[in-house]
Amino acid sequence: MRWYDFVAWAAVGLVVSFTSAAAADVAGVDTRALTQEAPLATLVVKEIELTPRLQFISPGANEEWLENATATIQWLTVGPIKHVRLYYYGDRTKLGGGSRGSFSGLISDAIPNEGSYRWTVPWVDARSFMLRLAGYDEEGKLMAETERVVRFRPSEASGLNGTYIVVSKRRQRLWYYQNDHLRWISIVSTAAAPFSTPNMRPGSSGRRGAMGRIFYKTPNAFSRMYQVNMPWWMAITSSGSHGIHATSSGFYRYLGSPASHGCIRQHRQDAKRLYDMVSVGTRVYVF
């Protein structure tokens, strides 16, 4: 028997057993009615039909989950809920302020209502997603549902803290964290073969000089090699060989795929937003 289930029916009313004050709260029971002899134990609710309800225990409010980590989803239920359905959904990262639609995924369908489920967090193209829980009775009728926002952290940002930029060549995404808070996501283009965007972290170096931070920035840069403007330029090598900058509108269709000569390209609007947020000296990681 599950710890949040009903335990008995009495002729004078419904007897419900709770193992915690949290379960009583889900049922809408005034915990002040509990006796001192059994502060978390059995209480009699006479002539009351409990409304089916669901409540998340985990994730908690404003919780962050890491990509590829195993998360334990936990919940409380009240009422004749026999099976639950878990799924997630959200809005994809915008490109230049424009919508790219939504995503959704089924976590588990029609599983027994046992109060918990372990799930490996997948990649999501968003800063957060909505986790939704729906409860059904024995006949499959929807009885109750609830949802909670979960903040998402990509695996590339695992173990990092403070203020930094992290770029994933695998995902073609850029994340900017300020004081451990995700401030911005950009869809980018790193180098296409035969060119390369070097992997880097603060303190790394190579033939391009020191790497792994914003060395300087200028709103209007120009490449003499390629004879192109590079608005909202932020150098990520001391030599200025590589940087983060805006691309021209003709290349917007390539964002999200490798397409550059080595730099990290963005939509002009996204590049301007990031440029205004980031300070010289900010750490940069490219994986």
Mean pLDDT across the stretch 224-248? 95
**Quick one: pLDDT band at residue 34, thresholds 50, 70, 90?**
very low
- Tens of pLDDT along 265-285? 999 999 999 999 999 999 999
pLDDT of residue 50: 80
3-state secondary structure of 110: strand
Classified by CATH at the fold level, domain 159-286 comes out as L,D-transpeptidase catalytic domain-like (2.40.440)
* Residue 39 tokens, joined: 């502060």
| Domain 51-153 identical in fold to domain 159-286 | no
**Quick one: pLDDT band at residue 28, thresholds 50, 70, 90?**
low
233 within 8 A of 217, measured Cβ to Cβ: yes
Q: How far is CA 252 from CA 125, 227, 255, 280, in A?
A: 18, 19, 5, 26
Question: Phi-psi category of 110—alpha, beta or left, where left has phi over 0 and alpha has psi -120 to 50?
Answer: left
Q: Is the link from the previous residue into 154 a cis peptide, with omega within 30 of 0?
A: no
Residues in CB range of 179: below 8 A, 6 or more apart = 162, 163
Domain boundaries, the chain: 1-50, 51-153, 159-286
| Calpha distance 154→171 (Å, rounded) | 10
- Tens of pLDDT along 50-74? 899 999 999 999 999 999 999 999 9
- Tens of pLDDT along 6-17? 333 333 233 333
pLDDT at 180 over 50: yes
Mean pLDDT across the stretch 138-164? 97
Q: 51-153: which CATH architecture? A: Sandwich (2.60)
pLDDT of residue 49: 66
pLDDT at 39 over 50: no
pLDDT of residue 48: 57
Share of the chain above pLDDT 90, in %: 80
pLDDT at 240 over 90: yes
The torsion defined by the Cα of 252, 258, 264 and 270, in degrees rounded to 10, comes to: 30
pLDDT of residue 238: 97
* Residue 26 tokens, joined: 């889900």
**Quick one: pLDDT band at residue 5, thresholds 50, 70, 90?**
very low
Mean pLDDT across the stretch 177-202? 97
pLDDT at 143 over 50: yes
pLDDT at 247 over 80: yes
Looking at residue 263, the DSSP 8-state letter turns out to be S
Q: Which alpha helices (H) appear in 34-89, and where do they start and end? A: none
**Quick one: pLDDT band at residue 35, thresholds 50, 70, 90?**
very low
Residue 173: other Cβ atoms inside 10 A: 19
Mean pLDDT of the residues in the chain: 88
- 5-14, 34-43, 117-126, 219-228: least confidently modelled range: 5-14
Q: Which of 81, 84, 137 is CA-nearest to residue 106?
A: 84
pLDDT of residue 30: 52
* Residue 247 tokens, joined: 């691309």
Mean pLDDT across the stretch 77-106? 97
